[in-house]
Structure 1
Amino acid sequence: MSTIHLHQRTTLTPEQYVRGLTDFGPGRSKLFGNSADEYLKVHRRSHTGADVTEGSGGIWERLHYDWSDLNRVVLTTTDSNVWGGASSHTYTFTRQPNGTTDIDVAVIREGKNLKGRMLAFVLGTIGRRVLERAFENSVKAIEARNAARQPAQSAA
């Protein structure tokens, strides 16, 4: 089992990041590279949770999303072709006095078969940088999408 801790500071509010994290529409892969549109299936969605299958590159997982507390969002793996046990993602948001937000993510990967155990080992060692880059890219993509949605500032 591997546990990877990631951190980013962003100009986004927790609500803005959670809106991106829980946008299961077409083009999700532009925000989250490991969530290819052809794998994406929303089984159920409510105001504070969802049951979603996603993945890419031959690896998929069914996740229970819980965003009932916008300061802590938990994605729990309920089924997968490689992940099992305690596999999850936990996003914790801390608002800073300067208007930024710290996002801390704990990714737990427990392989349920040989392929999963090997992937968990790789992610916990040399693969950590791949997860860091993917997280950085998702924050940047959601920041860019949010900026594009903001009304243009008029000159004073």
Structure 2
Amino acid sequence: MTTIRMHANTRVTPEEFVAALTDFGPERSKLFGNSDNAYLEVHARDDHHADVTEGSGGVWERLWYDWSNPQHVVLTTTASNAWGRASGHTYDLARRANGTTDIDYVVVREGKNLRGWFLGAVLATVGRSVLTKAFRNSVSAIEARKEVRS
């Protein structure tokens, strides 16, 4: 199993970040590069949860989004063509006195087949920097979205 921990500080509020994270509209791929619109399917959604399939590059996962605690958002993998059920994503958001938000992001990848084991090994080594860059790009895109809407 591969666990990757990332951190960012951003000018968006926790509420703005969660709103972007849970926006499953056609602009999603502009915010989250690993969520190609061709894979995106919202199966169910309410005020604090969503059941969504997303992915890119031939790898998809069905995720149960839970943002009932907006400072601790959990995405649990419920099905995937590569990842086991111990896989998922966690975002911990902390508002700072200076108006910024700290984001601690953890990705857990448990390969469930040869593809998943291989990708997990890649993520644990050279892929870590690619995933970190994608996270930072998402944070920057969410900041840019805020500036456009302001």
The Cα offsets for residues 62-99 of structure 1, whole Å up to 9 and x where unpaired, read as 00000000100000000000001310100000111111
The yes-or-no answer on 1:84 pairing with 2:70 is no
Larger radius of gyration: 1
Q: Give the match for residue 67 of structure 2.
A: 67
The one-letter amino acid paired with 2:54 is E
What is the 5 A alignment of 1:25-44? Answer: 25-44=25-44
TM-score (norm 1): 0.95
What is the 5 A alignment of 1:109-120? Answer: 109-120=109-120
The one-letter amino acid paired with 2:138 is S
Q: Which aligned segments of 4 or more residues in structure 1 are displaced greater than 3 angstroms? A: none
The Cα offsets for residues 106-150 of structure 1, whole Å up to 9 and x where unpaired, read as 100000001101101110111000110000000000110111111
- Are the aligned partners of 2:76 and 2:85 in contact in 1 as well (CA < 8 Å)? no
The Cα offsets for residues 5-34 of structure 1, whole Å up to 9 and x where unpaired, read as 000000111000001000000021100001
What is the 5 A alignment of 1:2-151? Answer: 2-150=2-150
**Structure 1 unaligned residues grouped into runs of 5+:** 151-156
The one-letter amino acid paired with 1:136 is R
Q: Give the match for residue 154 of structure 1.
A: none
**Structure 2 unaligned residues grouped into runs of 5+:** none
- Counting matched residue pairs gives 150
CA distance in 2, matches of 1:147, 1:19: 15
TM-score (norm 2): 0.99
* Partner-residue secondary structure (3-state), 1:90: strand
The one-letter amino acid paired with 2:8 is Q
The one-letter amino acid paired with 2:12 is L
